[in-house]
Structure 1
Amino acid sequence: MLSISIVKRFTFIIAICSVTLYSCKQNEKPKEVTVNKETTAVDTININLKEALTFYASFDHGVKADFSLGDPRIYTVPNRKTVDSVMAGLHKPDISRQEGKGKYGHGLVFTERSKGNIYYPSEKNIAYSKENWSGAISFWLSLDPATDLKPGYCDPIQITDESYNDAAIWVDFTKANPRDFRLGVIGDRDIWNPNPEGPDNENPIFNKRLTGVKNPPFGKDQWTHILINFSNLNSDNGQASLYMNGQHMGTRNTIDTPFTWDVSKSNIYLGLGYIGLMDDFSIFNRNLTNKEITTLYQLENGVQTILEP
């Protein structure tokens, strides 16, 4: 049996060790958690882009939109006036969806300049507003304008309820080589051209409403990213900018002409007179920041990247 003195001494040693161990833990520095700020910033931008997305067609699984707030189907019509002849689906033999022809897999292939149009309905797919309307439109094109396009103007994208010259947003190639690439954000025709004389596309008043790029960066076997960024349309301080491959190419300021739509009749037309490839088409419900535009351009798998869980 241990003596009382030995027990007391043993208890004292244990107490000293406990106090020392507690003191060491108190002085111990917390482990630092390494956070990749760049990755976090990119993830935040992707989340913000996803929240602003209203329409997306990758063309990888068909011509039906991968994501849409409105009707996801594509339609074919002989011309804009024959509404009764509209057919759901892609029914133009000179336009097809082909594997390996897109920027990211499948893409749309336009081979001829022919009559008829294909479109997605605008309603809910584009966040039209009668006041302070903002948004962005993104897509990829691949072509050599000098050798692929037939003579005449062509609009890879045109969004309107009437025509190119009346409450419309579009980009086009000019009618002859060397071709300029232009952004048109054109308000109500009866406001900007109440007394029309001659074709509007040759009217100096019309041309002042365009943002043009000479020697645009297109070429055979290469892809070019196009982004249309607009803000505060249907106000006295509207603005619209064109970006190509993430670079700002021009801005039209103080757009004060109204854009009056019957949204149920407005459509997102693709490939009017266009010959070439198209892929990864998306629309957002607000204008994008420069960082968001750069991120969109650099997405490894296109807009599908921001939809992945």
Structure 2
Amino acid sequence: MKHTQFYSSSVIIIIICLFAFTSCKQETKSNDQNSQPDEEKKEETEEKSDYTALKNALTFYASFDNDVEANFALGDKQMYTVPSRKAKDSAKVGLHKPDISIAKGKGKYGDGLLFTERSKGNIYYPSKGNIAYSKENWSGAVSFWLQLDPGTDLEPGYCDPIQITDVSYNDAAIWVDFTKENPRDFRLGVIGDREVWNPNPEGPDNENPIFLEKLKPVVKTPPFGKEVWTHILINFSGLNTQNGEASLYMNGELKGTRTNITTPFTWDLEASNIYIGLGYIGLMDELSIFSRKLTDEEISTIYTLQNGVQSIL
């Protein structure tokens, strides 16, 4: 009888232990399952936070999907076409150059803007509202993608994929360009008021030593290719102060910075425009402009976005 009672008691104790062990294991598993979503939610929250900061700084974005009208703009969303810069009164709303078109499915993301030849006339978006210009301490960033082989695609002459100014390349302008002869360098130009940096002009400005000294950085072997998309980002801060600087990033990597930019940038904002594709032949996509200098982390984020800038909208 004692043996039977002992056996029964032992069985009961074993069952209780097994139940307790199983409950602990299930609780641990449940905690592990609950902790994983929390970690994922944290990453998603941090990602959304990064996107929010970029979205709040965004002033203009054109994806070139289906149309040339900007997807987002604090100013005028429309693209304009003019026969020349001196004929701004003849500007037409929309894209009216047969050598430029929307290339279906050929963009970095979706469609892209295709330039097929060097021709007269310009296309642009107005700067007013789309660029956070300031007469005091002006900062910002310009981002876009290019696809071309500069050595075989470009026709002779300088080529500015983007040029932002109220007058010209040599007078209160921000741009990047390919030099006029092969092998072509890729340069960043952040050029202040011409009357200040070149008060006594002699010869063409694009050969003036004072002008050439302002073209920094110069990338001698730029990472472009016929079937390769290259990301370009111009980052600038402190313009119209004594501590202005501008940097060029390509594919998320810093290529160089020009510091001590003291020459003022005086704009007639109503006359300033964002010109694209000056002498350019190739594809362009995802033009976006921001109201402040971006961090290295934000530049990396833009470069690695899976669906382009529309991801942050």
Q: TM-score of the superposition, structure 1-length normalised?
A: 0.88
Q: Alpha-carbon deviation of 1:38?
A: 4.0
AA paired with 2:139? S
Q: Alpha-carbon deviation of 1:68?
A: 0.2
Question: Which residues of 2 match residues 123-202 of structure 1 at below 5 A?
Answer: 123-202=128-207
Contact 2:61 2:288 (C-alpha < 8 Å) held by counterparts: yes
What SS does the aligned partner of 2:39 have? coil
Q: Alpha-carbon deviation of 1:300?
A: 0.3
The corresponding residue for 1:246 is: 252
C-alpha separation in 2, matches of 1:117 and 1:281: 17
C-alpha separation in 2, matches of 1:139 and 1:243: 11
**Deviation string for 1:153-199 (max 9, x for gaps)?**
00000000000000000000000000000000000000000001111
AA paired with 2:75? G
**Deviation string for 1:225-262 (max 9, x for gaps)?**
00000001000000000000000001000100000000
What SS does the aligned partner of 1:222 have? coil
Q: Alpha-carbon deviation of 1:273?
A: 0.3
C-alpha separation in 1, matches of 2:203 and 2:106: 40
What SS does the aligned partner of 1:81 have? helix
Contact 1:42 1:295 (C-alpha < 8 Å) held by counterparts: no
**Is 2:100 aligned against 1:95?**
yes
**Is 2:77 aligned against 1:81?**
no
CA RMSD of aligned residues (A): 1.4
**Is 2:57 aligned against 1:63?**
no
C-alpha separation in 2, matches of 1:179 and 1:169: 19
C-alpha separation in 2, matches of 1:84 and 1:214: 39
**Is 2:288 aligned against 1:282?**
yes
Q: Alpha-carbon deviation of 1:100?
A: 1.3
The corresponding residue for 2:267 is: 261
AA paired with 1:55? F
C-alpha separation in 2, matches of 1:251 and 1:42: 28
C-alpha separation in 2, matches of 1:41 and 1:143: 35
The corresponding residue for 1:35 is: 39
AA paired with 1:295? T
AA paired with 2:106? K
C-alpha separation in 2, matches of 1:84 and 1:283: 26
The corresponding residue for 2:299 is: 293
Q: Alpha-carbon deviation of 1:43?
A: 2.0
Corresponding pairs, count: 280
**Is 2:223 aligned against 1:217?**
yes
Q: Alpha-carbon deviation of 1:98?
A: 1.5
What SS does the aligned partner of 1:169 have? strand
C-alpha separation in 2, matches of 1:61 and 1:52: 25
- Identity fraction in percent: 71
What SS does the aligned partner of 1:100 have? coil
AA paired with 2:221? N
What SS does the aligned partner of 2:189 have? strand
C-alpha separation in 2, matches of 1:201 and 1:39: 48
C-alpha separation in 2, matches of 1:181 and 1:76: 26
Q: Alpha-carbon deviation of 1:39?
A: 3.7
**Deviation string for 1:67-96 (max 9, x for gaps)?**
000000000000001122111110001111
Unmatched tracts of structure 2, length 5 or more: 1-26
Unmatched tracts of structure 1, length 5 or more: 1-27
**Larger helix percent:** 2
**Is 2:242 aligned against 1:236?**
yes
Q: TM-score of the superposition, structure 2-length normalised?
A: 0.87
